[in-house]
Structure formats: structure tokens, C-alpha cells
Amino acid sequence: MRMGKNSINNAKVGVFVLAGLGFLIGLLYMIGRTENLFGSNFELRTRFGNVQGLRSGNNVRYAGIQVGTVRRINILSDTSIEVIMLIGTKMKKFIRKNAIVAIGTDGLMGNKVINISPSKEPAGLVEAGDILPGKKAVNTDDILQTLSKTNNDAAVIAAELKNTMQRINSSSAIWKVLNDNTLPQNLRASLANVRSATSKANDMVTNLNTMINDVKNGKGSLGAILTDSSFAKNLNEAIEKIKSVGDDADTLAAELNTVVKNIQNDVNNGKGPVNAFLKDSSMVTNINKSLDNIQKGTDGFNQVMEALKHNFLLRGYFRKLEKQKQKETKQSATSQ
């Protein structure tokens, strides 16, 4: 009976040990699968100035798909850190040499991961040991500093807005304007005036454009002046003629001025017929006598002609002339 009890206990212990070994083997398999310990892999490299807390064992993703892990991180210099990635061999036919490598975060506050993004430009497929170009990642500390500065600026703006609202609330003039019932009506009237002025300005601009187009097309007097070459030629000729007439007028005025000066000199110096006519009284008397004699001679001649008309020798001649004169007068009146 005791031997049977020991056998049962040994069997239980054996089952427990076998279960523990199976669990351990499964756990090791899962860890190895995650770390790519089982299966063929190849290495890819990239370089950053700051890995931002990246560690060996962090995941590597291609287009969001888990493809490997970070194997090792080497410091090359004070400005360059090399990251060696262990990638599954099956990804060789997808990843190209110009793929971009960047450091990201698994979730909002999760572990760091390597993200490989395909490039839009064509390139050859990667080979083991290739160095892919790295993209500078946004530093969380820089983001926090920027957010802190933005928060401070927002606080200042809020304080200024608060002061402005307090001033508005304490200003009776502003509230008086806001409570004025006629203000909307006045604003509408002002807007109507602005629209009217804008419409008139548009009409004015349209008319000006029409006038300019007419001038360009040679329409109207101004267009003829600006576009008609013959008109410009005639205008130049007219200007030349006016200039010539002006020169002739200047010459004539100069000659008249000379004549007047000569006459004035003759009058002042007692020379010439003008002086004699204006200043010699005896000459004036003789001229008057001559005019009287001419008048008397004309009267005597008229009397002689009248006497000749009544002379019986010439009476027929003068009657004939009188009849001829009357006949001509009648003919002229009839023709009119």
C-alpha cells in the first residue's frame, strides 16, 4: 500500500515537471520568435544623432508590420550613433536601399521602436550590412518645451483678454454705442452709400476704359490726334504757317514803327508835308481857298451844262440821252 502511494506521488511529480518543461519551452519559443532567434535573419544598419532612449531588443517595423528587432547600439562619435537591426530574411524582397529609418514610440508612452518607411523613389533591394538613411526624430523634450512656451503665451494672451474685457465692461461710452438703437440703421445707410459709391466708381472706370479703347482705335478728336499721322503732319504745317505769319506780322509791325517814328521826327523837326499840313496855317488857308474855287467851278460847270440843255442846237441831243436813260432804267426794272 505504501509502494502504491509512492508511485502515485512520483507520477504526479513527473507530470508536474513535464508540464513545467513544456511551459518553459513554449515561453522560450515565444521569446525567440519575437527576438527572431529562430529562423534566418540578416543585418541592416542606420545612424542617428540621438537615439532617444532606444535599447537593444526594441521592435523594428516596416510599414507598420513587425519585421525584426534592434540587435545592438554602437556609439561611433559624439554626434553619430549606429543602430544594428536584425531583420527577417523574407523582407529582403521588399525593403529597398533608399528606405527611411526613424525612431518612434509604441503608443503614447510605450517603448521606442524603429520604423522603416518605403521611399517613393526607385532603388535597388537591400543586402546584408547595408546602411539605411536615418531621419531625425522629433524630441519629446523639445515638444514639451514648446508646449510649455505655448502655454505661457496662452496665459499672457488670456490675461490681456481679461484686461481688455474689464476695460470694455467699465467703459460707459462703448456700452452707450452698443445700446444705441439707431446704430444698425446708420450702419446700413453707410453700407448702402459705400455700395453706391463703389457702383459709381465701377461705372467711371468702365467709361474711362471705353474712352481709352476709343482713343487707341483712333476714334474721336483725341484719337485722331494721337493715331492719325496725316493729322499730325497737317497740324505741324499749320503751326509752321502760323509761325510764318507771326514773323511777317513782326516785320510789318517793325516797319510801321519805323514809319511812325519818321513821321514823328518830321513833325517834331518841322519837315515833310505832314508837318506843313498840321502846323502851317497858310497852307491850310490855301487848301481851303482851292476847295472853294473847285466848288465854284463845279457850280459854274453845272450852270453851263444846264444852259446847253436848253440850247436849240443841243436840245435834241440831250433829249435823246434822257430817253435812252429812261429805257435802260425800264429794262433793268423788268429784268429784276
pLDDT at 125: 92
CA 279 distance to own-chain centroid: 85
Sequence-distant (6+) residues with CB within 8 A of 97 are 123, 124, 125, 126, 130, 132
pLDDT at 229: 67
| C-alpha–C-alpha distance, residues 193 and 265, integer Å | 77
State the burial class of residue 172 (Cβ atoms within 10 Å of its Cβ: 0-12, 13-18, 19+). Answer: exposed
pLDDT at 48: 92
pLDDT at 232: 65
pTM for this prediction: 0.38
pLDDT at 257: 80
pLDDT at 84: 95
How do residues 277-295 score in pLDDT, each as one tens digit?
556 666 667 777 777 778 8
pLDDT at 108: 64
C-alpha cell at 229: 499721322
Task: Show the low-confidence residues of the chain (pLDDT under 70).
Answer: 1-6, 9-10, 13, 26-39, 108-109, 137-141, 218, 220-232, 266-284, 304, 308-318, 336
Sequence-distant (6+) residues with CB within 8 A of 315 are 309
pLDDT at 187: 82
pLDDT at 213: 80
